[in-house]
Structure 1
Amino acid sequence: MAQVTIGNSEFDRDTAVVRRAPGHYEADLSAGWTIIHAVNGGYLLALMGRALGDALPHPDPFSVTAHYLTASVPGPAVIRTEVVRTGRTMSTGTATLVQFEEDGSEVERLRVLAAYGDLDTLTDDVRTTAKPPAIPPYEHCLGTENAPGGQPAVPGSTAIADRLTIRLDPATCGWAVGAPSGNGEMRGWFGLADGRDPDPLSLLLTVDALPPTAFEIGLTGWVPTVELTTHIRRRPAPGPLRVAITTRNLAGGFLEEDAEVWDSADRLVAQSRQLARAPRSASTLA
């Protein structure tokens, strides 16, 4: 497929919002970004990020925290935004996404608090101990066409998989052949399937787009997000991203996922932490 540019891709069309009045936006949640029957949380975060980028005076998300209240489904939705504070370099706003039942009753799906600024004004001073994840070259990683045992590295039963290009580190793919490592790690190369380059908005999708670390712990089933906080650190360079996600503690039926996203220039461009509910069946792959 020919590469598309930022602004005319499927991701841009499916995260489009229409402002009907100040602080009131309408959107259509696409079935193309679903996992089983629920809309992916990273896609929803990007949709909310686009509405807030229109409502606030600063263009780029710096910190976005979302609480997922009920599972979103494909179809019409309303986003309501509120400007909490505006300053010279940053602004803060909130957003809620609601859908409507057949009887017309309103159901709130998620609520977001976000700080926005201008990534182009950040200084170039970097002092860090963070290092890019050690991932094998792209051609040595596993995608749907070369997964072990003929099984897809990304579950093919999900519509979102058709819109992403993910090549996973073989060291984190044991779950695909029924032999999870137990390490709670997921690493891989990431991009949009149509070739659109990453930008700050698509990074909100990226942090929640790889298979869950719960698979490598040995669990199967849906891993719904309770809360997700994402920090956008730099405007990403063109080209594929590298994503590393780790879970250190699954307890009480919940687990955390810490993600780092690195661009083609070896810069840390996004970080996130989410709290998720472990699969209720707690069935094992082993």
Structure 2
Amino acid sequence: MIQYSDEAKHSFIQYLQTEKNYSSLTVEHYIHDLDHFFEFLSREGVKHINETDDLLARGYLVSLHEHSYSRASVSRKISSLKTFFTYLNRENPEFVNPMSYIIHPKKEGRLPHFFYENEMEQLFLACSGEDPLSKRNKALLELLYASGIRVAECTGIQMKDLDLTIGTVLIKGKGSKERYVPFGHFAGDALNDYIKHARGNMMKKEEHSYLFVNHRGAPLTSRGVRHILSKLIEKTSLNHSIHPHMLRHTFATHMLNSGADLRTVQELLGHAHLSSTQLYTHVTKEHLKNTYQSFHPRA
């Protein structure tokens, strides 16, 4: 496989972390995308990065489409490579960026999946119980639904970030941007119950300040959250799969359906651009349309 030096890789990671201010998860994705591209170059017989040209770049895109990568995945890989080659060009102005003329594919017009209110009730019933894990699961589900935060943001919450008195949590979002997010009394009660009657027992010999922990007492990971939610869905009569982002979609959709303005939802979600939040207006319009067709006698 074609290699770029460990020094170059390390300096690029430093650039992403310090100058671009990207999160560790984003940096991990960028490096994974970069390694994937270099595997392609090796298959093409390329031995040095300077041999990469726009023809190879386009060939890589063709290979992604041939392997049925989604438009979102292709777009992310293009972003990763553009950032990398722009960085190389900055360090060496004589280097020609082979990705400069590559255009991002248009986004797919799929609407985000979300839960209806009665479906959320089933999920909450699925995590009822007096054992520590049930209390943890209920607090986790309540907070994700109440705040619309990303799973990575949720697993990164420290005990000091939580204010149960006024019902807010300090969230460290993408690009290390911080925002305070409110939550209601349902989430507040569940969190208080979990902290008082479950977290201490689950911690065992572990010593850290992360809010959510796994059954061994270690900090809960994003993969752990996905596992918990999958197990909860199995306990319900819901016949579709669940991914953590669905709770974020559900939060935004329910807020807009209940009359919240777009700017407020944008701020709560931590979206840098309003266009990201506007996607949910299509969901609410679709919901209104379906409701109209279901109940109006002359629809």
Fold-level match, TM-score > 0.5? no
Of Structure 1 and Structure 2, which has the larger fraction of its residues in helix?
2
User: Whose strand proportion is higher, 1 or 2?
Assistant: 1
Which has the higher Rg, Structure 1 or Structure 2?
Answer: 2
Query: What is the TM-score when the length of structure 2 is the normalising length?
Result: 0.28
